[in-house]
Amino acid sequence: MIRVPASIRGFSLITTLFLLVVVSGLAAYLVNLSIAQQYSTALSISALRGRHAALSGLEWVAYRINNVSASCPTIPSSMTIEGFNVSVTGCAETSVTEGLATYSLFDVTVSAERGAFGDADYVNHAIRATLRG
């Protein structure tokens, strides 16, 4: 039988503990990285949905100006698109004359909002456009 000197007993235990700590730390870092990436992707999708909700509201305003009445419309308070509350936050009409033609320009701002300001998943997207009536 081979006799192990007392000075090197327990060395493999220290090495094993060190490797366990390093590997578990690396695993925790990778889990946090994965969660952050998934959260970032979810926020990007929410921002894109907010943009499209605001664009839909702008198209609705353009339709109302050109086909219903040649004035600034108000979006009903119950208008929600994909969970976003859509509202006209600004609309100003300007009369323009070019030669013999006279027409109106509408400076419109439409915003889509979901959540409460300060929340982690709060989204607000505003689009401003000039429309011809």
Q: What is the mean pLDDT of the chain?
A: 88
87 domain-assigned: yes
2 domain-assigned: no
76 domain-assigned: yes
Residues in the chain: 133
- 44 or 12, which is more confident? 44
Provide CB contacts within 8 A for 117, sequence distance 6+.
Answer: 124
Alpha-carbon distance of 12 to 14, in angstroms, equals 5
113 domain-assigned: yes
117 domain-assigned: yes
3 domain-assigned: no
121 domain-assigned: yes
Please state, as a whole number, how many other Cβ atoms lie within 10 Å of the Cβ of residue 83: 13
1 domain-assigned: no
Range of the domain at 35: 9-132
Count: domains in the chain: 1
Q: What is the pLDDT of residues 39-76, one digit of tens each?
A: 899 889 999 999 999 999 999 999 998 888 878 887 77
What is the per-residue pLDDT for 129?
95
Alpha-carbon distance of 112 to 46, in angstroms, equals 11
Helices and strands per DSSP (H, E), number in the chain: 1, 4
Does the pLDDT value for residue 110 go beyond 70?
A: yes
The model's pTM is 0.72
What is the per-residue pLDDT for 85?
92
Does the pLDDT value for residue 10 go beyond 70?
A: no
- 133 or 101, which is more confident? 101
Average pLDDT rounded to a whole number, residues 121-129: 93
Please provide the distance, in angstroms rounded to a whole number, between the alpha carbons at the two ends of the chain: 100
Does the pLDDT value for residue 8 go beyond 70?
A: no
Q: How confident is the model at residue 15 (pLDDT cuts 50, 70, 90)?
A: confident
Does the pLDDT value for residue 27 go beyond 90?
A: yes
**27: exposed, middle or buried (Cβ count in 10 Å: 0-12, 13-18, 19+):** exposed
What is the per-residue pLDDT for 22?
94
